[in-house]
Structure 1
Amino acid sequence: MPTEPSPETPDLLARHRAVIPNWVALYYDEPIEIVSGRGNRVVDATGKSYLDFFAGILTNMIGYDVAEVREAVERQLATGVVHTSTVYLLRGQVTLAEKIARLSGIPDAKVFFTNSGTEANETALLLATYARKTDQVLAMRQSYHGRSFGAIGVTSNRSWKNNSYSPLNVHFLHGADRHLPQFRGMGDADYIEACTADLRHVLATAVGGDVAALIAEPIQGVGGFTTPPDGLFAAYREVLAEEGILFISDEVQTGWGRTGSAFFGIQNHGVVPDMMTFAKGLGNGFAVGGVVARGDLLDAPHAIGLATFGGNPISMAAANATLDYVLDHDLQANALKTGTLIIEGLREAAPRLPIVKDVRGKGLMFAVEIADPATGAPSPALATRLMEETRRAGLLAGKGGLYGNTLRMAPPLTLTLDEAAEGLGILVAALELVNAEASA
Structure 2
Amino acid sequence: MVPWFPLYYEEPLEIVSGEGCTVTDADGASYLEFYAGIAVNTLGYKVPEVHEAVERQLRKGVVHTSTFYLIGRQVELAERIAALSGIPDPLVFFTCSGTEAVEAALLATTEYRQSSQIIALRYGYHGRSFGGLGVTGDRHWQGSGLSPVRVAHARGGERRRGGLSGLDDKAYVRACREDLEELVGTSTPERTAAMIVEPVQGIAGGIPLVPGQLAAYREVLDEYEIPLIVDEVQTGWGRTGKYWGYQWHQITPDVLVFAKGVGNGFTLGGLVGRRDIMSSLDAPSISSFGGNHLSTAAAVATLDYIAAHDLTTAARRLGAVLIDGLKESLDDEPCVSQVRGQGLLLGIEFSHPGTLKPFPEMAARVQQLCRENALLVGLGGTFGNCLRLSPPLTVQEDQVRLATRVIAASTRAARAD
- Alignment of 1:421 with 2:401, yes or no, is yes
| SS of match in other structure, 2:388 | strand
| SS of match in other structure, 1:337 | helix
Q: How does 1:19-38 map to 2 (within 5 A)?
A: 20-38=1-19
| SS of match in other structure, 2:92 | strand
Which of 186, 207, 214 is 1:205 aligned to? Answer: 186
Partner of 1:118: 99
Which of 6, 23, 37 is 1:42 aligned to? Answer: 23
- Alignment of 1:251 with 2:232, yes or no, is yes
2-structure distance, mates of 1:117, 1:255: 11
Q: How does 1:2-13 map to 2 (within 5 A)?
A: none
| SS of match in other structure, 1:224 | coil
Between the aligned residues of both structures, percent identity stands at 49
Residue identity opposite 1:170 in structure 2 = V
2-structure distance, mates of 1:414, 1:30: 29
**TM-score with structure 2 length normalisation?**
0.98
2-structure distance, mates of 1:265, 1:435: 35
- Alignment of 1:224 with 2:216, yes or no, is no
* Superposed CA offset, 1:206-249 (max 9, x none): 11221010001110111111111121111000001111100000
Q: Is the 8 A contact 2:194 2:228 kept in 1?
A: yes
2-structure distance, mates of 1:158, 1:175: 14
1-structure distance, mates of 2:106, 2:250: 23
Q: Is the 8 A contact 1:259 1:364 kept in 2?
A: yes
| Residue correspondences, number | 417
Q: Is the 8 A contact 1:360 1:368 kept in 2?
A: yes
Partner of 2:344: 364
* Superposed CA offset, 1:78-128 (max 9, x none): 000100111111100011011111111100111100000000000001110
- Alignment of 1:102 with 2:83, yes or no, is yes
2-structure distance, mates of 1:430, 1:307: 45
Residue identity opposite 2:227 in structure 1 = L
Which of 134, 142, 145 is 2:126 aligned to? Answer: 145
2-structure distance, mates of 1:358, 1:275: 32
- Alignment of 1:177 with 2:135, yes or no, is no
Which of 99, 104, 112 is 1:131 aligned to? Answer: 112
Q: Is the 8 A contact 2:123 2:156 kept in 1?
A: no
2-structure distance, mates of 1:176, 1:301: 33
Q: Is the 8 A contact 2:346 2:389 kept in 1?
A: yes
- Alignment of 1:348 with 2:328, yes or no, is yes
Partner of 1:12: none
Residue identity opposite 2:187 in structure 1 = A
Q: Is the 8 A contact 2:238 2:311 kept in 1?
A: yes
Partner of 1:431: 411
Which of 387, 390, 396 is 1:410 aligned to? Answer: 390
Residue identity opposite 2:122 in structure 1 = R
Q: Is the 8 A contact 2:121 2:156 kept in 1?
A: yes
1-structure distance, mates of 2:147, 2:354: 40
Q: Is the 8 A contact 2:125 2:203 kept in 1?
A: yes
| SS of match in other structure, 2:144 | coil
2-structure distance, mates of 1:265, 1:374: 32
2-structure distance, mates of 1:60, 1:49: 17
2-structure distance, mates of 1:203, 1:300: 23
Q: How does 1:376-391 map to 2 (within 5 A)?
A: 376-391=356-371
Unaligned runs of 5+ in 1: 1-19
Q: CA RMSD in A?
A: 1.0
- Alignment of 1:267 with 2:251, yes or no, is no
| SS of match in other structure, 2:307 | helix
* Superposed CA offset, 1:143-196 (max 9, x none): 110111111110111111122221100000113220213122111000001111
Q: How does 1:50-65 map to 2 (within 5 A)?
A: 50-65=31-46
2-structure distance, mates of 1:252, 1:113: 13
Unaligned runs of 5+ in 2: none
Tell me by how many angstroms 1:374 deviates: 5.6
Residue identity opposite 1:178 in structure 2 = R
- Alignment of 1:395 with 2:393, yes or no, is no
**TM-score with structure 1 length normalisation?**
0.93
| SS of match in other structure, 1:391 | helix
| SS of match in other structure, 1:367 | strand
Q: Is the 8 A contact 1:175 1:192 kept in 2?
A: no
Tell me by how many angstroms 1:373 deviates: 2.0
2-structure distance, mates of 1:346, 1:159: 27
Which of 303, 328, 343 is 1:323 aligned to? Answer: 303
1-structure distance, mates of 2:89, 2:356: 49
Partner of 1:15: none
Residue identity opposite 1:308 in structure 2 = S
Q: Is the 8 A contact 2:322 2:400 kept in 1?
A: yes
Tell me by how many angstroms 1:376 deviates: 4.4
